Structure 1
Amino acid sequence: MHIIRAQRIFDGHDLIHSRAVVVDGGRITALLDDAENALDLGDVTLLPGLIDTHVHLAFDAGPDPVARLDEDGLYERMHAAAQQHLAAGVTTVRDLGDKDYLAIKLAQEFTEGPEILSAGAPITSPRGHCWFLGGEAEGEEGIREAVRERAARGASAIKMMVTGGEMTPGSHSHLLQFTPAEIRAAAEEAHLHGLPITGHAHAGAGIAAALEAGFDSIEHVSFFTEDSVSHDHDLIARLADSGVFASLTVGLLPGFVPPPSIAPRIALLAEGMRLLHAAGVQIIGGSDAGIGPVKPHGILPYGGEMLVDFAGCTPTEVLRSFTSLAARACRVDDRKGRIAPGFDADLLAVEGDPTKDHRLLRRPAAVFRRGIRTS
């Protein structure tokens, strides 16, 4: 048993009066108002380790991450990517772009790294978005079989590419990749196996299809049209009423210059985030880490910038989105995302008070995984 003391504790919801956390066997066993004989971290805020709800450990964040997928050493590169997340204070990652079930293998073997929740290869249409990850399927029975395979291999979630995407030539972000019946089949089969399902959906039609099929969360939620963005206010209201999580794509290195296809849409994408937040949609943060140089692994702490500047979130709402809300979306909220007795001692300490300045998340003072200090 050991005790960790900080000036402030954010418990996943709010700042609390306690200043010390008792850890035993990798779990939090008690909170104390203060304590002697503790590891005193000084003028820091202790908060739950961050949870990134959308990463791609198989992508190396290089100029052409797809080209390297078939090079030797993929598993080792994924191991290094996971370490980068942990060093940044991200103690749990949800991998939504696995290849050959390597993220599941890594989750089982890399016990000193972040907890990895893998969906396996995303289910996509033949030659659809990210087909090169190995998740092509079609027809209701083919899709159900794809879900069953992932469940049998130990997946923690199911991901479906409901629409096309920007990084796959021949697929289109504004178009559906599956029929409504196929999308429903994926959701029904996932839930039969007790797994949450999330859908990559840029177009309004894709967002609506995922919502109507009973998906638990939706990635991106960007309302793309063929050449612009068009927000569906009625659909946003339905999202808010449903309780479905919107996993917004956040986190970029400073100096990012958007590609020509995206640059004209930035203001509209920002407005979409504001509309989602204003309507009361449950917002969580997925970085999409690995897809390019501006999204290195461990970039989630930079994601607060977009949630504050675009969506209008408060710093406290950012912290909740990256901790307790993210844990609920990933269905690990019985042991992650909170500082409370019985929860995993996955902890992040940052200097100062991040409930007043979300940018403090970028400078971790200490990171603990199962109560063991890793940095």
Structure 2
Amino acid sequence: QLGLSSKEKDESAKEGSEIVFENDLMFAVRPYTEEASCYYGKNTKWCISATEARNYFDEYTSRGKAFIMVLMKKLPERDVDRKIAIVFDDLGGFEEIYDAQDDQGSWNDLRDAVARNWSAADGAKLYNELEEDEQDEVDKQLRALTKAGTENIMDNPPEGEDVEARIEELTEEYPIENGDVGVDTDGMDGETYVMFSAQFQVEVSREKLLGLPEEREQVDELEAVIEKKIDNSLNIYPSMIEIYGLEEGYAMLYFNFEFSGDGYNPTVEGYEQFLQDTQDIDKKYAGIQRVVALSLQELGYLKREGIDALSDKVEDMSKQLTNFTITDNTEYVGDEDISFKSSY
């Protein structure tokens, strides 16, 4: 928020957070907003508190994560354990911690941080370096801190994103004119995974064909030629190319191009990126059709017609039309043409 004074920023951050635990040793707060997360995470490298790079607070919260940010009051300002972010699930279960340098840690690492803070005046000792009665006191502090965090989260669980609604919005926002996108969700270990793929199909009338690939080897050869041309000409990389309609009774030959969601994050954000990339493929659909035709022609299954038939005559025409420069660009898929330029 531009133009806010320091006092106003303090007040705004406090409104977007809740103190969950405080004593002479520790101060713990639950941020509910990105602004509060940035405020209490100042001078750390936490991605949920980033201000100059992408901030992940809202994304992780939408996945059911909750954060308790702890200030270890007795540790010096530059100590990596001075600020600790504890990650809980949406039921208040402990998951992990991150120190001020954003290094991941376990329950034992949190216990060591509490121990170092508790013994700061005596050398900031790790838990295993303490006497048994001292360890008991650290355990008591740790239980009080995490219990307060768990109770707060159980009372105020993070509001997860309505994944289904967001998927529907994105599907409408990124329409695919010439293909189909399939998307599904699956819940596992408290996470919602989004799975997706896309398909484009080119149809060729069997009446136009001079013949059909009959053996499996011939089908494989045709698919390989198509794959090579589509890679080289359009920079499109389908995960699978399949040909249907070779059996008797079909009026059309179907060339199916599948694009898998492998390599994308199985999240709403990954689905959005996939749709953006699929729109780029959609814009090249005419080029895909052209590649299919050229591949069929190359293997003798389709007669060369139109601009391709004219291309076959360019050499003879160049000899006859000596006052013209003829440029044959039919090899450029999607931008194919034959130009005639007069020398005068």
TM-score (norm 2): 0.20
Q: Which has the higher helix share?
A: 2
Q: Which has the larger radius of gyration?
A: 2
TM-score (norm 1): 0.19
Which structure has the higher relative contact order (CA within 8 Å, separation 6+)? Answer: 1
